[in-house]
Structure 1
Amino acid sequence: MKLFKKKSKTPPGAPKEPEMVYSMTPRHGHAQDVFDENGVRQVAGCLPIDPIHKRFLLVSSSSNPGAWVIPKGGWEKDETQKQAAMRETWEEAGVKGVITRHIGVFAEKAKTGVKAHHWIYEMEIKEVTKKFPEQKKRERRWFTYDEAVLVVKANYIHDALSMSSLSPLVHPNPESLQTDKKKKEKK
């Protein structure tokens, strides 16, 4: 299902990201994962957003039945954080889109310390496909900001939601975002 027809163009002089390859074969294992100097695993993911309907697309957790999470996974040595985030979002949610901004790096805590650092990006959804690598393993569902805050359990995902462009904490009146954008374009 395509949400938008317009393609965004890279501004003149801006560096181009390598083109995304949408493979139906997901990567598995942790042999190529990136770890920091303290041995903490580096994870990349996206908060996929439908800016027109003001909602997020979340996926069911593969390790915690009943839980809703963002598409994310190991950042591998042969890719950038953005590329890893886009790849994981494709593999787990079947979403193609454009990364609009880096939300932040969030620590996932464990009893013994930090389990992982999550590099989370906001992605404007361009297409939600019917077929994707993990379609038999995952469910996906649309959530408003208020619904997402209620269903998400992980603290780092709550933090990312609160810093997203759909958060009332960031934008007290998110309905005005599209209107404000149109006003700026007319000037």
Structure 2
Amino acid sequence: MCDLVARTGRHQQRYEDGYRLVAGCVPFRCKTCEDSSSEKIVEVLLINSSSGPGLLFPKGGWENDETVEEAAVREAIEEAGVRGDLMDCLGCYEFRSKTHQDEFSPEGLCKAAMFSLFVKEELELWPEQNTRNRSWLTVSEALGSLRHAWMRDALECFCKWHEEKFAG
């Protein structure tokens, strides 16, 4: 049994100018090539969508009682079952959600702050494990598997960030 429980409901959600505020992350790890070249391969963690085909990065509503960083960390634990070091913000991305239209955002407009998360632990039990599968993919595999264009944009920003942060 998992001691962690996913937050549900919308009564604590943050909104700004008709946008629902969302926080998420690009969970990543570095693996050494198996061909003994000691070259590092970056892999990112994607999860399946609960509302249709395609893969996603963990993300969800930013609530009133937490910082945007805390929300991103919480979503990584709830949806993907991973913990690690939250690093830099990769940017903010606007999108429209068909499943999250409400009185505060009737158009379903969302604004997501996306962070990089260096994964240090994969939990055996996590709140959404019965509805989510996680998949480690190379960046090129992930670009071809992501459901939303804005998440591909976030992944491209992650690649630039990772190159600058870990070059040399």
Aligning the two structures, in what range does the TM-score lie when normalised by the shorter sequence? Answer: 0.7 to 0.9
Question: Which ranges of 4 or more aligned residues in structure 1 deviate by more than 3 Å?
Answer: 109-114, 176-179
Structure 2 SS opposite 1:54? strand
The amino acid of 1:28's aligned partner reads T
Percent identity (aligned): 33
Decide whether the 8 Å contact of 1:107 with 1:114 is kept in 2: no
Gaps of 5+ in 2: 32-40, 99-105
Higher relative contact order (CA 8 A, sep 6+): 2
SS of residue in 2 equivalent to 1:137:
coil
Paired letter, 1:58: L
Residue 118 (structure 2) aligns with: 124
Structure-1 separation of matches of 2:167 and 2:95:
36
Taking the aligned partners of 1:126 and 1:82, their CA distance within structure 2 comes to: 17
What TM-score do the two structures reach when normalised by structure 2?
0.82
Give 3-state SS (helix, strand or coil) of 1:163's partner. helix
Gapped regions of structure 1 (runs ≥ 5) = 1-21, 181-187
1:161 partner amino acid: L
RMSD over aligned Cα, in angstroms? 2.4
In 2, the alpha carbon distance for the partners of 1:130 and 1:83 equals: 21
Aligned to 1:183: none
Secondary structure of the structure 1 residue equivalent to 2:8: coil
Residue 78 of structure 2 corresponds to 91
TM-score computed with the length of structure 1 as normaliser: 0.74
Partner of 1:161: 155
Where do residues 93-108 of structure 1 align in structure 2 (5 Å cutoff)? 93-108=80-95
Residues 140 and 119 of structure 1, relative CA distance in 2, 3 Å threshold: same
Alignment match, 1:109: 96
Tell me, yes or no, if structure 1 residue 33 matches structure 2 residue 13: yes
